Structure 1
Amino acid sequence: MKPGKPGAPGAVVVITGASSGIGRATAHAFAKDGARLILAARSTETLQEVAAECAEHGAQVITVPTDVSQESEVENLMRAAVEAFGHIDVCVANASVYSYGTFETTPPQVFRRIIETNLFGPVHTARAVLPYFRAQGQGTLIMIGSVYSKITSPYVSPYVTSKFGLLGFTEVLRQELRTAKDIHICMVLPATIDTPIYQHAANYTGHLVHPLPPVVSPHRVAKAILRIAKRPRPVSVVGQIQGTLIPIHSLFPRLYDRCINPVMNVLALRQGVIAPSNGTVFTPDPLSNQTTGNWRTTRTRRLATASAIFTIWSLARRRRP
């Protein structure tokens, strides 16, 4: 079967991390657009739920339980996609895990697992899918990074490390494939998105955690991914307010460093004492896999306003002699 145009109706799309959040919303978006889907995640049970949701929109769907940190499983995923549909038009490398805690309180095995999933997962994905793209002469690989690919904050060192590394890897791939005009390497940088990743996060802070406001709908990210599949572009940021932190981080690094700690301490760490937890870093939790994390409440919107005011006040205060 000949490959179709990436993003066109009937396109064959592989999505990793499809069980919740951005991946689940992206599966819905491509299903509504008429794509044929290969959905991958660690949870077999949840994948079947997502497949049923996509089938309701008329999509052809297969599921392939996959741990992207294992290269052989990613190879099997791509092989299954080609065996089912003959080719791959679009591959969305989305799977991620998360943790909160200082570098020193984050267990070494958790740090390593986050790097293996968030960075080596996309590396394994690229290594597995590019031979098919080369043979076809076309294809679009979309890496899901983060604004944390370009900015930093305390308490999320392994996640930031993985996303910074993913940005560099993606840029190198794009440079090396520059002469392959119909093979596109793209990256999406979401800001804080309303997904269960925060409930799923490992936590070694001793406090309840909360995503930094403002919180953006995962459907906005899914629309951006669908748009890029149809009209590839190198990098796209989703979440304008937090996106403005990228130039601030770059142009005023010392000022940024002085302000980000109080912002995280006030807005990300909440009252309440909780025991250390590995979250879903090593094992999925099918019962909590949803498209959203229900963070976009009236209270959260108020916190977004408070966050903006607090940040402006902090910046003004830090600039005083």
Structure 2
Amino acid sequence: MTAATRPSGALVIGASSGIGRATALRLAELGVPVVLASRSASALEVVADECRLHGVTASVVVLDVRDREAVDAAVSAAADDFGRDLAVVHAAAVVAYGLFEEVPADLMTSVLDTNVLGTVSVTRSALSAFRRTGGGHLVVIGSLLGEIAVPYMSAYVLSKWAVHGLVRSVQIETRDREGVEVSLVAPGGIDTPVYRRAASVLGRHGKPPPPVATAEDVADAVVRVLARPRRLRHVVVTNPVVVAGFRMAPGVYDRLVTPLMRTFGLAEWTGLPANPGNVLEPRHGPPGTDAPDPAPEEPTMTDDTTRHLPRVSRSVAAPAQAVWDVLADGWQYATWVVGASRVRAVEEGWPAPGTRLHHSVGVWPALLSDSTSSQEAREPAHLVLTARGWPLGEARVEIEVVPDGPQSCTVSIAEDASSGPGLLVPLPVRQAMILPRNREALRRLGLIAEGRHRQELTGP
């Protein structure tokens, strides 16, 4: 950024943390006076002090972007102070995780109020101020999710699609207005506290999917569009590839996106209580920093031999407890485990660690009679079994049940041979036989759980 392209001043909205904070600091480094706005006065004051270390003036405005009058007053005051070369950077946004039908209506509405109507207010106020002063540059922080869709973030996806649409319309409408620029910066996965501060009804936090960039990378993109205006700048280099896949191969995309999101876009299940995060009010770690809020302790595994194996998973339209109840009913074992033909006995307390169920596998009359024992059991989320079928050997089976909300969950299975002749078969060949069988087992398990749950809801 040269002296000729440097803004006379910048109003950064959402400056207390994450991308907004990084942008404010980057502009201050370049000698741009800043006005910092967000909901948290204490966090803003710390960021302002950091900006002043670079020798620029930094002032603070406490506002909620849902308050149209407050937004208009802040933008108008900044325009009065900095004139036609004012830059307005809008980075305020909130996130809620959960299946669409299970995100509470008030949270859904609040996300849209902040992300969509907040952007409407900022954009309207900025354009009005630019008309009065003769120019200015509005930079809106969008998202890769303004061009694609993913599960568990419907409120945020909806809001960012709306934001992208609004900005594009305004860009068209202002293209002939001398001195007025409107730009959109679209990050992908960015390492900021927004994931841990988000609302969630999933029992876990979100996390940035790879490849992960930093808030400073986004700030650099903002500086580049301020110096050289453009309609859209993606931050992560893989964004256009993902967008192309979403548009050109929707069937493949839809098949892959849910397991990828569960693996790379969600943290481990921790039993996190359903909470509104920072959607309704500010929530910060140490003021003005990007330190994440303390995370609940995650469950530890006593044996992770199956952790790095391929897993098959299935979404089940029933609570996690409904799935667990099927797993805990040993007499149902043969109805969902592919290859099990009958159950002969179930020890009392199944599936407590150390208990067994006795079963037969195969097709009559070629049956093998053996047992399955429970190694670990944490209701309703985690079950580890040792399935015996000698002379073929033994297998370790890990089943995870992760709530996606009050009325749904995701069940996954990882399995591999643990002793016996089965270990002589190469791992890729073993898994080629195991994965299809477990995919069918999950289908059966899910149907039983869903059927039982429907019966409980409707009665006999």
1:17 lines up with 2:14 in the alignment:
yes
C-alpha separation in 2, matches of 1:207 and 1:292: 18
**Structure with the larger helix share:** 1
SS in 2 for 1:240: coil
Deviates more, 1:207-216 or 1:273-282: 207-216
Q: Does 2:76 align with 1:79?
A: yes
User: Cα distance, 1:56 vs. partner?
Assistant: 0.2
Query: Which of these residues, 44, 47, 54, is aligned with residue 47 of structure 1?
Result: 44
The amino acid that maps onto 1:247 is A
| AA in 1 matched with 2:10 | V
Aligned residue for 1:273, secondary structure, equals coil
Query: Counterparts of 1:58-207 in structure 2 under 5 Å?
Result: 58-86=55-83, 89-207=86-204
Q: Which moved more, 1:164-173 or 1:207-216?
A: 207-216
1:180-204 deviation line (CA, Å, top 9, x unaligned): 1321111000001010000110010
Partner of 2:382: none
Alignment counterpart, residue 229 of structure 2, candidates 232, 245, 252: 232
**C-alpha displacement of 1:82:** 3.4
Secondary structure class of the residue paired with 1:184: strand
Separation in 2, partners of 1:136, 1:31: 23
Aligned equivalents of 2:241, 2:262: Cα separation in 1 = 20
- The one-letter amino acid paired with 1:138 is G
Give yes or no for contact 1:25–1:291 (8 Å, CA) kept in 2.
no
Percent of pairs identical after alignment? 33
Equivalent residue for 1:276, pick from 274, 277, 284: 274
Question: Following the alignment from structure 1 to structure 2, what is the Cα–Cα distance between the partners of residues 268 and 227?
Answer: 28
In the TM superposition, residue 88 of structure 1 has moved relative to its aligned partner by: 5.5
Where 2:15 maps in the other structure, the secondary structure is: coil
Instruction: Quote the RMSD (CA, aligned, Å).
Output: 2.2
Helix, strand or coil: the match of 1:248?
Answer: helix
Give the Cα–Cα distance (whole angstroms) in 1 for the partners of residues 196 and 153 of structure 2: 14
**Structure 1 Cα separation of the partners of residues 17 and 200 of structure 2:** 19
Report the Cα distance in structure 2 between the residues aligned to 1:217 and 1:292, rounded to whole angstroms.
Answer: 14
In 2: Cα distance, 1:163 partner to 1:81 partner:
26
Question: Whole-Å Cα distance in 1 between the matches of residues 19 and 207 of structure 2?
Answer: 18
Q: Please tell me the residue identity of whatever aligns with 1:287.
A: G
Find the aligned partners of 2:178 and 2:153 in 1 and give their Cα distance.
Answer: 37
Query: Are the counterparts in 2 of residues 6 and 229 from structure 1 also a CA contact under 8 Å?
Result: no
TM-fit CA distance, 1:61:
1.1
Larger mean Cα displacement after TM superposition, 94-103 or 134-143: 134-143
Does 1 or 2 have the higher relative contact order (CA < 8 Å, sep 6+)? 1
Match of 1:216 among 203, 213, 216: 213
Deviations 1:134-163 (A, max 9, x none): 122221111100000101100000100000
Q: 2:104 is aligned with what amino acid?
A: P
CA distances 1:217-265 after superposition (whole Å, capped 9, x unpaired): 1111001101101110000000112442011111111111111011112
The DSSP-based 3-state class of the residue aligned with 1:68 is coil
Q: CA deviation at 1:84?
A: 4.0
1:4-34 Cα deviation digits (max 9, x unpaired): x8841x6211110000000000000100111
- For residue 207 of structure 1, give the secondary structure of its aligned residue in structure 2: coil
Count of aligned pairs between the two proteins: 293
Structure number, greater radius of gyration: 2
The answer as to whether partners of 2:285 and 2:291 remain within 8 angstroms in 1 is no
Match of 1:287 among 282, 285, 296: 285
In structure 2, distance between residues paired with 1:177 and 1:117: 24
Residue 14 of structure 1 aligns to a residue whose secondary structure is strand
Q: 1:57 to 1:267 in 2, by over 3 A?
A: same
Aligned partner of 1:314 in structure 2 is none
Single out whichever of 239-248 and 75-84 deviates more from structure 2.
75-84
Which segments of 5 or more consecutive residues in structure 1 lack a partner in the other structure?
A: 295-308, 311-321
Structure 2 gaps, min length 5: 294-309, 312-460
Structure 1 stretches of 4+ with a deviation exceeding 3 A read 82-88, 291-294
- In structure 2, distance between residues paired with 1:174 and 1:132: 16
Give the secondary-structure state (helix, strand or coil) at the position aligned to 1:40.
strand
Residues 67 and 7 (structure 1), Cα distance of their counterparts in 2 relative to 1, 3 Å cut:
farther
* Counterpart contact for 1:208–1:273, Cα < 8 Å: no
Q: Which amino acid aligns with 1:157?
A: S
Larger strand proportion of the pair: 2
